[in-house]
Amino acid sequence: MSEYQVIARKWRPQNFTDVVGQEHVVRTLRNAISSGRTAHAYLFVGPRGIGKTTLARIFAKALNCEHPENGGPCCRCASCLELAADRSLDVMEIDAASRNSTTDMRELADNALTRPVSGKYKIYIIDEVHMLSKAAWNVLLKTVEEPPAHVKFIFATTEVHQVLPTIISRCQRFDLLPIPTKLIAGRLQLISDAEKVAINPAAIDAIARAAEGGMRDAQSLLDQMIAFFAAGDGTEITGEQVLSLFGLTDRNDMNSIIRAILQNNPGEVVTRIANLSRRGKNLETLFDDLLHDIRAIQLCMILADPSSLLDESPEAIAGFRELAKLAPRDTVQILLENLAPVGRTLHDALNKQVYLETILLKAMREAHAVRISDILARLNQLRSAGELQFIDQLPVVEKNFAVAVSPVAADEPAKTVEAVKEVVPEPVKPEPVIEKTGIEPVKEPEPIGESVADNTVVDEPEAVSEAVSASALDSALSDPVEEVVPAAAAVAEVIPEAEDISETAADDDITEADISADIPDESMQSQLYAIPGKESGRKKESFTPDKLQRSIANEHPEELISILKEDPVVQEVVDLFSGTVIDIHR
């Protein structure tokens, strides 16, 4: 009984025509061989299982083929047969993960100087070349840069960022792409038919999806399914068996979860995830599938034909189009924005079920929340229907320190700051508050002591007591409250208001003339602001007038007019409230 050969080795491509999903690389290599314009070093880059080493072997076979056909090997000459049987002395395949020392590379550089045994070229295929150390690369660097005419290098790696830039610059680089799911499924169906394995299309699609773009992984999974479920009696392998073995989620369950997310049904989402977790489904794979399907729904919304971007069957794309009718485009976009960044965090979470439920519910809350645009659209809809007519009957609310701008003013030239000042009403000064203290009015108090130049310091603090007699104070305290009011009013008449006094104007818009009207003379200031018992040199208390409220109308009136013209949101609000704008505040 002969030894069993796994499907991945048995069905390994032997010619360029058998390679799946890498047409851009195959075409370049074919043309190079047909035209005789082959380079001395090649670098194949890509994830695992997509054909890097396979293409390197086919290319080496074509380089030494005695009768190449259309840029590919004939697979019938002695050179092709020796290479297929791993007996070629001119094609050497080296694993850089195990042979990465400087001694190994020095031996390779010395052997490269000898002529090939029977072929045209001596070809070195170095797999996982990123495992070579920097010292080993330095030994091989000169040979790779200027090899003998009979030497060709073919490198393969999955971690190109670890390869020295000096090496990459000396090679022709080819980036291999993950193989589309449809192509993997077609290849698996061909292998199943040739091996006489009964398997339904749903199972093949599930295997192709689980392979994640790797043909070798897909073939290994098919081999595993045959060994696990095939009983030799012709029983067909079903999609449910494949999903249960790999922990994948059925398409119907996926559609149910997505439908609940789009319809904002959190109870259904949590229940579905809990059921899948109890059945042993891989929640990380479930999250990846959810993200993929939501993106597919978004593409169906914005593209007329998303098949070029979606690696899905026409039936699956039709299902995505039906799901896209359940929610607006903004909702799907917000779902993607909230779910896309958390994949790595889910991988590290201790309780993946709870974390997955949490992030899905949070994304649903954000996606289905009411937004300002929705409110404005609804208000405009109500107004168009005549349900908000009372708004037009409401009086216009006038505010202090504001500029009234009519809708017609938006078409006029921008007003200057001086013009805006003219329409700003004067701030209303509050009436003086008369406190009921019972103190008798003080009539024309005499200056107390000698004042310094700034009228703030006195020499005789004891003199303050002379302004109010002790007997008057005692009598005021004993009198009723009603009799105290005239005395307090008399005090208010004698002491002028000082709230408009200021050393400098607090605002550039308030001129010196505006605040000089009510300033007392120097002698009165010395009496009013003299503070007994303080050190010499103290400054007088500063009083500033009320400042204008900070707003666009008061500070930058031309900007207000510009906003009314250009901002669509402001225009919509203005239209909603009958075109009356009082002011806009930051």
Of the candidates 157, 175, 193, which is a domain's last residue? 175
520 part of a folded domain: yes
- Same domain, yes or no: 42 and 99: yes
Given a cut of 70, is residue 30 above it in pLDDT? yes
Regarding whether 320 and 213 lie in a shared domain, the answer is no
The beta strands (E) that lie in 419-549 are given as none
* Domain final residue, candidates 175, 195, 211: 175
415 to 405, 418, 419, 553, 565: CA distances (angstroms): 11, 8, 6, 10, 14
Same domain? 149 vs 224: no
Mean pLDDT of the chain: 75
- 44 belongs to a structural domain: yes
Q: Are residues 160 and 103 in the same domain?
A: yes
Whole-model pTM? Answer: 0.59
Q: Are residues 215 and 120 in the same domain?
A: no
Domain match, 170 and 186 both: no
Confidence band (pLDDT; 50, 70, 90) for 583? Answer: low
More reliable by pLDDT, 498 or 230: 230
Distance CA 77, CA 86 (A): 14
H/E/C letters for each residue in 402-426? CCCECHHHHHCCCCCHHHHHHHCCC
- 107-116, 262-271, 382-391: which has the minimum mean pLDDT? 382-391
Q: How many angstroms from the chain centroid is the CA of residue 37?
A: 45
C-alpha distances out from residue 40 to 105, 246, 248, Å: 17, 43, 45
Cβ(548)–Cβ(401) under 8 Å? yes
Q: How distant is the alpha carbon of residue 470 from its chain centre?
A: 77
- Looking up residue 232, the CATH number of its domain turns out to be 1.10.8.60
Q: Which stretches of 263-406 are DSSP H helices? A: 266-278, 283-302, 314-324, 329-339, 343-348, 352-367, 372-384, 390-393
Considering only CA atoms, which of 74, 242, 214 is closest in space to residue 158? 214
Kindly state whether residues 166 and 197 are assigned to the same domain.
Answer: no
Domain assignment present for 54: yes
Instruction: Flag the least confident range among 147-151, 374-378, 394-398.
Output: 394-398
pLDDT in tens, 381-428: 777 777 766 666 667 655 454 444 444 444 444 444 444 444 445 555
Is residue 36 domain-resident?
Answer: yes
Is residue 444 in some structural domain? Answer: yes
Highest average pLDDT, of 110-114, 225-229, 421-425, 518-522, comes from 110-114
Q: What is the pLDDT of residues 429-443, one digit of tens each?
A: 555 544 444 445 545
Residues 200 and 161 in one domain: no
Residue 419 included in any domain: no
Could you tell me whether strands 41-45 and 151-157 are parallel, antiparallel, or unpaired per DSSP bridges? parallel
Asked which of 246, 273, 295 is the last residue of a domain, the reply is 246
Question: CA 73, CA 65: separation in Å to the nearest integer?
Answer: 6
By mean pLDDT, which of 157-166, 310-319, 358-367, 507-516 is the weakest? 507-516
Same domain for 156 and 191?
Answer: no
**What's the pLDDT tens digit per position in 277-305?**
988 888 988 999 899 999 999 999 999 88
**Which DSSP string do the residues of 88-124 spell out, in sequence order?**
-SSEEEEETTT--SHHHHHHHHHHTTSPPSSSS-EEE
Does the residue 1 lie in any domain? no
User: Which band of pLDDT confidence, cut at 50, 70 and 90, is reported for residue 29?
Assistant: very high
Q: 3-state DSSP call for residue 19?
A: coil
- Are 29 and 16 found together in one domain? yes
Domain count, the chain: 4
Q: Is there a contact between 211 and 191 (Cβ–Cβ < 8 Å)?
A: no
Full strand arrangement of the beta sheet holding 41-45: 91-95, 122-127, 151-157, 41-45, 172-175
Buried b (16+ CB within 10 A) or exposed e, 78-115: ebbebbeeeebebbebbebeebbebebbeebbeebeee
Question: 145 and 44, same structural domain?
Answer: yes
**Among residues 41, 21, 45, 19, which one has the least CA distance to residue 32?**
41
Q: CATH number for the domain including 50? A: 3.40.50.300
Q: Which domain holds residue 129?
A: 7-175
Query: Do residue 129 and residue 81 come from a single domain?
Result: yes
Residue 328 forms part of a structural domain: yes
